[in-house]
Structure 1
Amino acid sequence: MKLMVQVKLLPTPVQAAALEATLRACNEAATWVGEVAFERRAFKNFDLRRHTYGVVKERWGLGAQAAQHVIKKAADAYRALGADLKRGWLGPRGSARPGRTVGEPLTFRPQAAQPYDDRMLSWQTAARTVSIWTVGGRMKGVAFTSGPNQLKTLALYRQGESDLVCRDGAWYLLATCEVPETPANTDPLDFLGVDLGIVNIATTSDGRIMAGRQLNRLRSRDRRLRIKLQKKNTKSAARRAMRRRRKESRRARDINHKIAKHIVAEAERTSRGIALEDLTGIRARVRLRKPQRVTLHSWAFAQLGEFIAYKARKAGVPVVRVDPAYTSRTCAECGHVDKANRVSQARFVCRSCGFVDHADRNGSRNIRARARELWRRGALSAAPALPSPGRRAERGQRITSSDAEFRKLVPLVAGS
């Protein structure tokens, strides 16, 4: 399985200036390539290379490998845009938003990430330095640092391209590593049910409740501060809001990693599988009041599910996704389904047998029971099938889109 390992570069001021000039040149070239692709309707990598390769090398002074990566980056961006149009993420065909998006060429930020292959970047892991290509020539001895686990993974499993990234004035390399997977456990003793929620981010069928009140207080404080900054509407307020947004994103990612790590470790220790809810399209399905919508949209449930899935694959723990319908209203003891069973957010009282439990724990037990049944029938998931091309797909589903389809979409939407 592929994992991305992030290492932080420690360049000198001269080295940092060379890296910045390289990113700027590569992204200026990529923007020009995007304009050529838009004008000629040539969105495939090799077609686009015939029109732009020589000019990119001559005008921006890029090497052969760098020029090819710049052209491929522009082609991949148009392919991703075509896939988004096909999914319906940019609005229905003929509406204003897709017209504004595809009615002009794609552009790249001056500090957008740039891919490097082994011909442009070499690693000296023992010395913790890299030799990297820049527009000013090969630059050797650029120091980097990272955690011990990341360095071990980098030394053993690095394979493929790495991305040069500048974030808030700091320089990073995102290296692709091909990490071997542990053979999957084909005979789990049981399943660990996981109920995902708003008040409690994750509750297991063992009764462990993770990320509750303290996290929600932090999220409420961040939301209030964000509203104040938006009302102030000044440049300094916008800059601070951007910094806060990144901080909130890092905190959510860190907490999701910790929750996923605990769940997978517990399942691996007890030789169990993991049962998750299939929350695809949850934001479109639920009907909530306005204050509740803000809370629902402020946490990355899909990210947590992805973290659990890839950590489970790495550990050889099977993961089963079940239909979450009525798990919060069903009694885990007798199976009685009633809306009145959910007395409050945290309390479940069955109207049939009188069973009392924490509502989220009761839901996680129902999820565990559904996973057992699916596994007994030989199914790995109760998730719905991917929608047809004519229907709007939910974010996170992977649907490919060909360049020919994008060529047809551009004139239709741009001319509407």
Structure 2
Amino acid sequence: MKQVVVVKLVPDAGSRAALAETLSTCNTEANRIAGVAFAHRGAVTGRVEREYALRGRVYAEAKGTGIGSQLAQLAVKKVRDAYTVVEAQVRSGMLRGARAAKALGKPVVFRSGAAQPFDDRCLSWNLDARTVSVRTVVGRVRGIGFACSKRDLAMLRAHRKGESDLFERGGELYLAATVEVPVAEEREPVDFIGVDRGIVNLATTSDGVNFQGQDLERYRRRMARARAELQAKATKAAKKKLAQRSRRESRHAAHVNHKIAKEIVSAAERTGRGIALEDLEGIRERVRLTRSQRGRISHWPFYQLAQHIGYKARRAGVPVIAVDARHTSQMCPLCHHTERANRRSRDEFCCRGCGLAGPADVIAAVNVRRRGRMAWAVCQGSGRPA
């Protein structure tokens, strides 16, 4: 299973200038290549030609900029991969209508500090000395230090494999290294933990554990007020501050999602259970939300939480199964009576059939657990993978 380990580079002034110039030159050349690719796309299909054909048009000039033959080829590959992503997003429906037309109607653009891939021929690691050697526009620069945690260093030492991406963020230079982590064999679960994802409580398990309630809500309101104030100013400094705050909020969201996923997977691994999640794909189109709820959903990466749970579970050998999310918060897990009135408020559930009452999020998680058990039994009985 592929993952990414990000380390911060700590170069001296000369090395920093060489790396920054190399990154800027690579991205400038990538923009030129993207324009050439766009100009020669298919007249009927509108698709960009394959990497080999594109390389024949742009390679000589790219190599002549000083980045060398290998970085020139990696720049071509980066451009073709970017177009592949855009085309895939349009085909899958992630980009539709005006957004799809806009994405397909102009060349892709890379900022000056965007990530540039380096393979082992143009970037090598010395993990004992915590340094890297990088091919730049001024030649090979050696002994560039990097900083990372002991855990990340151990991960690099044991599993680093493939390309590393150099990129700039906030005036600092970073390397994102690819690591190939072995996946544990998936075991047979003795039961499942149902996980209900929501707006106020990010995740609630069938064990009755809530993750992030009032503290998260206060954080969201504070961030929303700060965004509104900066957007109202509309100055250059305010826009810069807004971008910084957006990155800060994204980092906070990823950190919280990592913690929640780690606790859920650890509980499942410790007790020999699997994890059942609601399938929330297309939830924005299926449900009617208030304006405040739409804002909350848009500013929190719920999909990211499922991704974190998924990859952590694969590493631990914990099976994960997605189940139908419909009516999980309206159905009684005891008598299975289902109606909207069962959920008396956002927090309270009371079955109008048998009188069972409890926290609405926990009831939903219990229903998710039950559906996970049934789905697993069906998949195992039919021989299909869960």
SS class of match (1:63): helix
Q: 1:46 aligns with which of 40, 52, 62?
A: 52
Q: Give the equivalent residue in structure 2 for 1:78.
A: 83
1:113 paired residue number: 115
Task: Name which structure has the greater RCO, CA cutoff 8 Å, separation 6+.
Answer: 1
For residues 260 and 54 of structure 1, what CA distance do their matches in structure 2 show? Answer: 48
| Residue number in structure 1 paired with 2:20 | 20
Letter matched to residue 115 of structure 2 = A
- 5 Å-filtered alignment, 1:244-259, equals 244-259=245-260
SS at match of 1:325: coil
Residue 156 of structure 1 is matched in structure 2 by 158
Q: Is the CA contact 2:199–2:293 (under 8 Å) kept in the aligned structure 1?
A: no
Q: Tell me, what secondary structure is at the counterpart of 1:142? A: strand
Residue among 66, 72, 75 paired with 1:61: 66
8 Å contact from structure 1 (residues 276, 322) kept in 2: yes
1:86 Cα deviation from its structure 2 partner: 2.0
Partner letter of residue 109 of structure 2? T
Deviation of 1:97 after TM superposition, in Å, equals: 4.3
Pairwise CA distance, 1:104: 2.9
Structure 1 stretches of 4+ moved >4 Å: none
- Please name the residue that 2:8 is paired with: 8
Residue type of the alignment partner of 1:39: A
Matches within 5 A, 1:290-305: 290-305=291-306
Instruction: Name the aligned partner's letter for residue 191 of structure 1.
Output: F
CA displacement 1:269-309 (0-9 Å, x = unmatched)? 00000000000011111111212211122211100000000
SS in 2 for 1:378: helix
Map 1:340-379 → 2, pairs under 5 A: 340-378=341-379
State the identity as a percent: 48
Q: Quick one: which amino acid aligns to residue 31 of structure 1?
A: N
What's the CA shift string for 1:61-82, capped at 9, x where partnerless?
1211101001111111122222
Aligned to 2:93: 88
Cα deviation code 1:393-415 (max 9, x no counterpart): xxxxxxxxxxxxxxxxxxxxxxx
SS of 2:67 mapped into structure 1: coil
1:242 is matched with 243
1:111 maps to amino acid: G
Distance 1:184 1:346, change over 3 A: same
Alignment match of 2:171 (pick from 146, 169, 172): 169
Q: 1:379 to 1:323 in 2, by over 3 A?
A: farther
Looking at structure 1, the residues matched to 99 and 324 of structure 2 have their Cα atoms a distance apart, in angstroms, of 33
Partner SS, residue 328 of structure 1: coil
Structure 2: distance between partners of 1:22 and 1:347: 58
Contact 2:264 2:309 in 1 (8 A): yes
The superposition leaves residues 316-358 of structure 1 with CA deviations (integer Å, 9 ceiling, x where unpaired) of 0000110010000011222111211111111111111111111
Question: 1:146: which partner in 2?
Answer: 148
Structure 1: stretches of 5+ with no match in the other structure? 381-416
- Corresponding position of 1:130: 132
CA distance in 1, matches of 2:103, 2:259: 37
Contact (CA 8 Å) 1:283, 1:297: kept in 2 or not? no
Secondary structure at the counterpart of residue 62 of structure 1: helix
**TM-fit CA distance, 1:379:** 6.0
1:254-403 mapped onto 2 (5 Å cutoff): 254-378=255-379
Question: What SS does the aligned partner of 2:6 have?
Answer: strand
**Alpha-carbon distance in structure 2 between the residues aligned to 1:334 and 1:104:** 57
Q: Write out per-residue CA displacement over residues 138-195 of structure 1, whole angstroms, 9 at most, x where no aligned residue.
A: 111011111111111100110000100110011111111111111111x211000100
Indicate the RMSD between aligned Cα atoms, in angstroms.
1.3
- State whether structure 2 residue 186 is matched by structure 1 residue 184: yes
Matched residue type, 2:76: I
Letter in 2 for 1:302: Y
Determine the C-alpha separation between the residues in 1 that align with 2:152 and 2:99: 41
Checking the alignment, whether the CA contact within 8 Å between 1:43 and 1:78 is kept in structure 2 is no
Paired with 1:316 and 1:230, the residues of 2 have a C-alpha distance of 46
CA gap of 1:35–1:18, structure 2 versus 1, over 3 A, is: same
Q: 1:376 to 1:23 in 2, by over 3 A?
A: same
Which structure 2 residue ranges, 5 or more long, are not aligned? 42-47, 382-386
Deviation track 1:187-231 (CA, whole Å, cap 9, x = no partner) reads 211000100000100000011101111011110110111111111
**Residue identity opposite 2:17 in structure 1:** A
Aligned length: 375
Distance 1:27 1:83 in 2: 23
